[in-house]
Structure 1
Amino acid sequence: MNRKLLILFAIISPLSCAHAESGLASYYGGRGHSGEMTCAHRTRPMGSMVTVKYRGHTIRCRVNDRGPFVRGRVIDLSVSAARALGMMGAGVVKVSLDGS
């Protein structure tokens, strides 16, 4: 019985990284090269790609940092990613995330 649970957990565990979530996003001048579409996320694996949606705009960015460290925010985007998403004027916006 325990072996079956262990196998089930091993199969389901990587899939949990691909879950959808929503919440507040902000942007920052974080790590990475200028112009890169990158982001900071607390739990998604480094190097994984995240699809971020806001008001009809959709971008894909790579997780290369940990954060955000402000309560209630789910992701911090690089300036390039925030500009492509169309959120520069607002600063903090509600987004939906989907990852792989």
Structure 2
Amino acid sequence: MYRTFLITTLPLLLAALPLFVSSAQAETGLASYYGGRGHGLTCAHRTRPMGSMVTVRHEGRSIQCRVNDRGPFVRGRVIDLSMSAARALGMMRSGVVRVSLE
């Protein structure tokens, strides 16, 4: 009876696992930009591993940028983008915009 229970519930557990992992990585909040280090589409994030790629979405635009710095250190902001990344998202005039991260 124990084996039957384990076999019938295992597919359900495995099916739910990717949803749990995926939702843990998503974030929404304010983004700003900086003149920062490096060239290209880079960003600063407080907790994501250095070198990892982050997808940033804003008003129908989406970019992928590489984490190469720590920050932002301004309360309420979730990410700081390089000027190139901010330009690609179309946020240069606004300065601070609401974004979603994956």
Larger radius of gyration: 2
1:97, 1:48 → 2: CA distance? 12
**Equivalent pairs, count:** 83
Q: Does 1:25 align with 2:25?
A: no
In the other structure, the counterpart of 2:82 is 78
TM-score, normalised to structure 1, is: 0.78
Q: Give % identity.
A: 80
How much is the aligned-residue C-alpha RMSD, in angstroms? 1.9
Deviation at 1:21, TM superposition (A): 0.3
Residue deviations 1:59-83, cap 9 Å, x none? 0000000000000000000000000
**TM-score, reference length from structure 2:** 0.77
Q: Greater helix percent: which structure?
A: 2
What is the CA–CA distance in structure 2 between the aligned matches of 1:83 and 1:53, rounded to whole Å?
13
**Structure 2: which amino acid aligns with 1:84?**
A
Give the superposition deviation at 1:37.
Answer: 0.3
For 1:63, the equivalent position in structure 2 comes to: 67
Distance in 1, Cα, partners of 2:63 & 2:30: 16
